[in-house]
Structure 1
Amino acid sequence: MPIAPSSLRLTGATVLRDGVLQSRSVAIEDGRISKGPLPEVDLNGYYILPGIIDLHGDAFERHLAPRPSAPFPIRTALRATDRDAAANGITTAWMAHSWSWEGGARGPDHAEAFLKALDDYADEALTDLRVQIRCETHTVDTADRLLAAVRRHRIDYVVFNNHLDEAIQLAEIDPARLALWARQAGRSIEEHLAVVHAARGQKRDVPRYLCRLAEAFDTLGVSYGSHDDEDGETREYFSQIGAKICEFPTRRAAAALARAVGDPILMGAPNVVRGGSQSGNIAAQDLVRERLCDALVSDYYYPALLQAAFHLVDEEMMDLPQAWAMISTRPAEILRLPDRGVIDYGRRADLAVVNAETRVVEATICEGRIAHLAGEAAQRFLSAGNEEIRLAAE
């Protein structure tokens, strides 16, 4: 049974509201930002910030299979991912699950099982967990199945990507890695190569397939984009068919084209924190500096979102309200979620309580429910609860 929302007034903290840091209280009632006298929690020494909204994360894959040969049940992985997100101030998160010819944990069978498991887990969830489908372009024969899954599970976000060339190159230069890839999909190397070549044989039908999906997504209200655009021409193609979100452009030209036509640009927070791409692509920080990045996503590491925001502040590239908007306000705008991303009356009470000295998330509140509580903040919340009980007894 879902936990009832808390009714509290958080006082003494520095609050990000109306685009600036302010010294004021935040009242929570019935899962929304409210007004009026309520039991108080003193959060002097803390920031109260809008809950983080993560548009793309695949950290859940580590919980599905901590080792490639050691898978765990999907429900276990969802529970661990949910708590992982909450502990890092994330209140809304899209888990990026592949829909690919690759098979195994990245194939349609696993995607459908994952979506069903998430539906079953929803009542237990601490955060708002959703699925972004990463649709490989060369999956033409799955069109009806994909659209049925989108409708059945109310999917609201899809991105197109094409890893086929990478697979073909891998077969030529890294047989050991290819063997691992095949084994993870439950195939022999020969079987896996046959699947790769069959996917390549769909090339002629891919444009019609993507346009069919795009038309259906427009009808269903699904947001969609593309992943790993290598150049402006690729980004322009996807933009023209309606795939407006530019996720992880690998070169500046792709990001520049997206900016020119008004498409939102997403980059990985780990790229910002580490000072560059782990795969040799363009540095996210360079795009942020040139204002060619609208929002940051966790990619493969949830803690990087908060760390990236403060990194941008420390590098004097922007102030905290501007940096935090890249992981809260802008993602909400991009995925059309008007009820979150800012702290304001009537909006969802999605909040991250961050220790101002250590910059550690010590409390996460999702729709008024406490999803994570630790450290000194936990002591303060518990003390407030004891006082409420004492007053009620009197």
Structure 2
Amino acid sequence: MSAEQILSNARLVTADRVFLGSVVMRDGLIADVAEGLSRLPQAQDLNGDFLLPGLVELHTDNLEKHMTPRPGVDWPSRSAVLSHDAQIIAAGITTVFDAISIGDVNPKGNRMQKLPAMLEAISSASDAGLTRAEHRLHLRCELCHPDTLSVFRDLVEHPLVQLVSVMDHSPGQRQFVMESKYREYYMGKYHLTTTQMEEFIVLQKANSREYSTRYRAAIVEHCLARGLSVASHDDATLAHVEESARYGMTIAEFPTTAEAARGSQQNGMKVLMGAPNIVRGGSHSGNVAAADLAAEGLLDILSSDYYPASLLQAAFALAAQSERVDLAEAIRMVSLAPARAAGLIDRGEIAPGLRADLVQARSQDGLPVVQQVWRQAKRMF
């Protein structure tokens, strides 16, 4: 039996309130939660800092930045995973769904060639006990790529796969309903000439017409049969939402309009938005702001997307700025809500019987600074 640990004098953020209290950890689980200070001499004094449930991240592309730190530079895969993992745990994230992109929309990219190495590195590092956060896999399926369905079928049986999203990033719809924004984004990101951009647009539109509808149906059917959570992506209209709902999707990633977010909730889908959207004060693509959705009660889950530290920062910022969302609710958006949406019922909340995944954070002028992180009662940071 593992030794008992007591954390005391902390502002506990539970699922519904914040109060000064203590937590007892035993055998990797939360054994007790109590108001007030512990009188036991072995209790660790957290000096009034916040004690939060470990954050649960459903959608992050952060690993890719470590795999390819510069254009044309391929970093050793296990080293990349461990660097990514260190950044994740330092952000207070104890469960992370690493997003693996199937279908490369970069005409100069080699994402598809890197997939086997990425999966092997994540799996082997986790199996060897080298990672500090718990890693799961999120397959992001780009429907307008000819090879997406075959690669999906090759990867979906991997034991770490627990979440799948389907998306169509072709121009003129969804995230890029304004084709000018599409041109601006891809020409800037991938350094395309005007001629290359025109050829790319024609190809992407043709591929979308050819593959998108039938690939979406096939992928979702396979996921539901296997019991995997499925997310839509960039739904912009009520028609998009109703299509996603008919397919049985349960998460709406990054709806681009308030109409789509509202329709998603009405159809039983959890609305997920980017934490950087909160921190930056809006969408980089000109779509609906996450804070505006929160003000209308249309925001359920936050994701760090491309910047791990944004997850906790956004939760504190939202609680400070919103008249509707308090800190307990904001923390639910980065812990309990994503855990449940992904089918994880053993974590995401400070409550007896759940995993002792915990984060000590100190607020410095409103910015949360992570002090310690525990996963299953073992200190990881």
Range of TM-score over shorter length: 0.7 to 0.9
Q: Is the 8 A contact 1:6 1:370 kept in 2?
A: no
CA distance in 2, matches of 1:215, 1:350: 33
**Alignment match of 2:251 (pick from 231, 235, 245):** 245
Q: Deviations over 1:314-361 (max 9, x none)?
A: 113322111111111111111111100111222111001012456311
**Alignment match of 1:329 (pick from 330, 336, 345):** 336
- 1:26 counterpart residue number: 23
After TM superposition, the structure 1 = structure 2 runs for residues 277-316 of structure 1, keeping only pairs within 5 Å, are: 277-315=283-321, 316=323
Shift in Å, 1:108: 3.3
**Alignment match of 2:58 (pick from 55, 62, 73):** 55
TM-score between both structures, scaled by the size of structure 2: 0.86
AA aligned to 2:8 is T
Q: Is the 8 A contact 1:136 1:161 kept in 2?
A: yes
Q: Deviations over 1:133-175 (max 9, x none)?
A: 1101124544243123110344111111111227995899569
Q: 1:164 to 1:257 in 2, by over 3 A?
A: same
CA distance in 2, matches of 1:276, 1:194: 28
TM-score between both structures, scaled by the size of structure 1: 0.83
The answer to which of 124-133 and 139-148 deviates more is: 139-148
Q: Is the 8 A contact 2:250 2:341 kept in 1?
A: no
Q: Is the 8 A contact 1:89 1:361 kept in 2?
A: yes
- 1:387 counterpart residue number: none
CA distance in 1, matches of 2:2, 2:73: 37
After TM superposition, the structure 1 = structure 2 runs for residues 219-298 of structure 1, keeping only pairs within 5 Å, are: 219-298=225-304
Q: Deviations over 1:32-61 (max 9, x none)?
A: 112597942111221111011111111222
Shift in Å, 1:5: 7.3
Confirm whether residue 341 of structure 1 aligns to residue 341 of structure 2: no
Q: Is the 8 A contact 2:245 2:269 kept in 1?
A: yes
**Alignment match of 2:13 (pick from 16, 40, 62):** 16
Q: Is the 8 A contact 1:13 1:46 kept in 2?
A: yes
Shift in Å, 1:235: 1.9
AA aligned to 1:121 is A
Shift in Å, 1:196: 6.8
Q: Deviations over 1:254-298 (max 9, x none)?
A: 112112211110001111111111221111100010011111110
Shift in Å, 1:210: 1.8
Q: Is the 8 A contact 1:27 1:38 kept in 2?
A: no
Q: Is the 8 A contact 2:170 2:201 kept in 1?
A: no
CA distance in 1, matches of 2:266, 2:291: 19
The answer to which of 73-82 and 309-318 deviates more is: 309-318
Shift in Å, 1:181: 6.0
- 1:378 counterpart residue number: none
Instruction: Provide structure 2 residue ranges, at least 5 long, that are not aligned to the other structure.
Output: 34-39
Q: Is the 8 A contact 2:9 2:20 kept in 1?
A: yes
- 1:361 counterpart residue number: 370
AA aligned to 1:91 is T
Corresponding residue SS for 1:24:
strand
Pick the structure with more helix per residue. Answer: 1
How large is the Cα RMSD of the aligned pairs? 3.1
Instruction: Provide structure 1 residue ranges, at least 5 long, that are not aligned to the other structure.
Output: 184-188, 373-394
- 1:180 counterpart residue number: 190
- 1:210 counterpart residue number: 216
AA aligned to 1:94 is F
The answer to which of 263-272 and 25-34 deviates more is: 25-34
Q: Is the 8 A contact 1:115 1:153 kept in 2?
A: no
Q: 1:356 to 1:42 in 2, by over 3 A?
A: same
Count residues in correspondence. Answer: 364
Residue identity (%): 32
After TM superposition, the structure 1 = structure 2 runs for residues 115-194 of structure 1, keeping only pairs within 5 Å, are: 115-122=119-126, 123-139=129-145, 141-165=147-171, 177=187, 180=190, 193=199
AA aligned to 1:50 is P
CA distance in 1, matches of 2:60, 2:216: 23
Q: Is the 8 A contact 1:7 1:39 kept in 2?
A: no
Q: Is the 8 A contact 1:232 1:253 kept in 2?
A: yes
Shift in Å, 1:215: 1.5
Q: Is the 8 A contact 2:168 2:212 kept in 1?
A: no
AA aligned to 2:120 is K
The answer to which of 66-75 and 291-300 deviates more is: 66-75
